[in-house]
Amino acid sequence: MMQQDVNIVDQITRSIADMADLGHGFTQNLILTVVLIFAFWLVRTVIMRIVYRQTEDPGLHYKWRKYLTRTLFFIAVLILGRAWFEGFQSVATFLGLVSAALVIALKDSVADLAGWLFLLWRKPFELGDRIEISGVQGDVIDQRIFKFTLMEIGNWVDADQSTGRVIHIPNHKVFTENIGNYTADFQFIWNEIPVRVSLESNWKKAKKLLQQIADRHSANISDQAKEQLRSAARSYLITYRILTPTVYTYVKDFGIVLTIRYLTNPRTRRGTEQQIWEDVLNEFSSQEDISFAYPTIRYYDRSREGYTGWGMPDDGVGPGNRASGRDEYGRKSPGNVPPHLTSPDRIS
C-alpha cells in the first residue's frame, strides 16, 4: 500500500513536470516545499489552539507563538535547504561568496542578528523586564531578529510611568551600550525621599516618625527582598546587609534633611512615594514642634534692633552723629556711610 502511494506521488510529480516543462527534481522539491509549509502551518495552528485553551495569560501566548514560529522555521530551512541544494557543489561556494558580501554590505543587520543570538543565549533581559539602554527607559514588549521594542517610561513624565510611546531599538546596541535592568533576578530598587525640616524643629522626633512610616510601608517588601536576594546571590556578587528602611540625617542650606531610604518595586515607586508623603504630611500637621523648612530671607530692622544702615551698630561715631541719627548737615544719617557719599548732593 505504501509503495502504491509513493508511485502515485511520483506519477503526479512527473505529470506536473511534463505539463510545466520543468525537471523532475525541481518539481519534486517544489511540491515538498508547498506540503512542508502547509504541514508546519497546521502544526502551529493546532499547538497554539491547545495553548489558548490551557492558559489565558497573554505573555505565555506571545512566547509560545514566537518560539514555535522560530523553531518550525528553522526546521523547515534545514529540510528544504538539503532538498534544494543536494548534489550542487558549486552552490556552497556561491553562498560563501554571497555571505561574505552581505556581511560587508549589511554590517549593522549582521550585528543585529548577532545581538539577537546574544539575547537568546545570555538573556541580559527578557520580555516584560523594565530596562534602560541608550538613555531610554521602558518595559520590553517585543523581541525580534533585528530589533527589540520598549514601552517608554519617564522622559517628560516626572515618574517611572508610561509615556505611551513605543521605542524600537536595534539589537546591536546590546554590544555598544550599557544595559540597566530594573527587574532581573532582584526585582526591587532602592528609592530615597528627602524630607527637610527647619533648624528649630525637633528633628529627633521627626526622624522617629519618619522611621515608623517607612517601616509600615516596607514590612512585606523586606521579607520578599530577602528571598530574592538569596536567589540573585547565586548569579551575582550582591552583598546587601540591610534591607530594612533607614532614615539618614544631614544639614544642608536652610534646614535639616532627613532622607528615607527604602526598597520598592520599580513599577509601584510613584505610588509608594505618594503614600509615604501623605503619611508624613498627616503626621507633621499634628506636631507643633516640627515644621518643614523652605528658603527664607532674614534681615535686621535698625529701628527695632538698634542697627543703622550698612548693618553697623549704632555706636555714636562715624560721619555725622550716628547716636542722634543726624549728619554734619543736620539731615537724617543713613548710618555708616562712606565719606565720599556724605555730601549734600548725596544725602537727602
Q: Assess contact for 267 and 187: CB atoms under 8 A.
A: no
Q: What is the CATH number of the domain that holds 196?
A: 3.30.70
Residue 260 lies in a domain: yes
Residue 102 lies in a domain: no
**Residue 219 lies in domain:** 189-268
194 and 177 both lie in a single domain: no
Residue 27 lies in a domain: yes
Residue 230 lies in a domain: yes
Rounded to a whole number of angstroms, the distance between the first and last alpha carbons of the chain is 126
Residue 294: the pLDDT is: 87
168 and 218 both lie in a single domain: no
- Tell me what the mean pLDDT of segment 203-227 comes to: 89
- Tell me what the mean pLDDT of segment 312-335 comes to: 48
* Confidence class for position 12, pLDDT limits 50, 70, 90: low
Q: Assess contact for 202 and 289: CB atoms under 8 A.
A: yes
Contacts of 130 (CB under 8 A, 6+ apart): 137, 138, 139, 140, 153, 181, 182, 183, 266, 267
- The label of the residue with cell 533607614 reads 246
* Confidence class for position 320, pLDDT limits 50, 70, 90: very low
CA–CA dist 184, 294 (Å, integer): 39
Which of 181, 208, 228 is a domain's end point? 181
Counting residues of the chain whose pLDDT is more than 90, the rounded percentage is: 33
pTM attached to this predicted model? 0.61
pLDDT at 29 exceeding the cut of 90: no
pLDDT at 53 exceeding the cut of 80: yes
73 and 133 both lie in a single domain: no
Residue 342: the pLDDT is: 47
pLDDT at 7 exceeding the cut of 60: no
- Cα distances from 97 to residues 82, 91, 106, 290, in angstroms, run 19, 10, 14, 78
140 and 202 both lie in a single domain: no
Least confident stretch, 29-33, 84-88, 202-206, 219-223: 84-88
144 and 217 both lie in a single domain: no
148 and 202 both lie in a single domain: no
- 87 closest CA partner among 37, 28, 36: 28
Residue 329 lies in a domain: no
pLDDT at 169 exceeding the cut of 90: yes
pLDDT at 171 exceeding the cut of 90: yes
Q: What's the structural domain count of the chain?
A: 3
More confident residue, 91 or 193: 193
Q: Is 1 exposed, middle or buried (0-12, 13-18, 19+ CB in 10 A)?
A: exposed
| Triad 106, 107, 113: Cα angle to 5° | 90
Alpha-helical runs (H) found in 21-88:
24-54, 58-85
pLDDT at 348 exceeding the cut of 80: no
Q: Residue 151 in 3-state DSSP?
A: strand
Which of 268, 299, 324 is a domain's end point? 268
194 and 168 both lie in a single domain: no
Residue 10: the pLDDT is: 60
Residue 77 lies in a domain: yes
Residue 93 lies in a domain: no
More confident residue, 74 or 288: 288
165 and 198 both lie in a single domain: no
Residue 251: the pLDDT is: 94
pLDDT at 296 exceeding the cut of 60: yes
Which of 223, 253, 268 is a domain's end point? 268
121 and 171 both lie in a single domain: yes
172 and 199 both lie in a single domain: no
More confident residue, 55 or 170: 170
158 and 195 both lie in a single domain: no
12 and 49 both lie in a single domain: yes
* Confidence class for position 347, pLDDT limits 50, 70, 90: very low
More confident residue, 299 or 43: 43
| Rounded-to-10 torsion of CA 320, 325, 330, 332 | 110
Residue 171 lies in a domain: yes
More confident residue, 327 or 229: 229
Please provide residue 48's backbone torsions phi and psi, each rounded to the nearest 5 degrees.
-65, -35
Q: What is the CATH number of the domain that holds 131?
A: 2.30.30.60
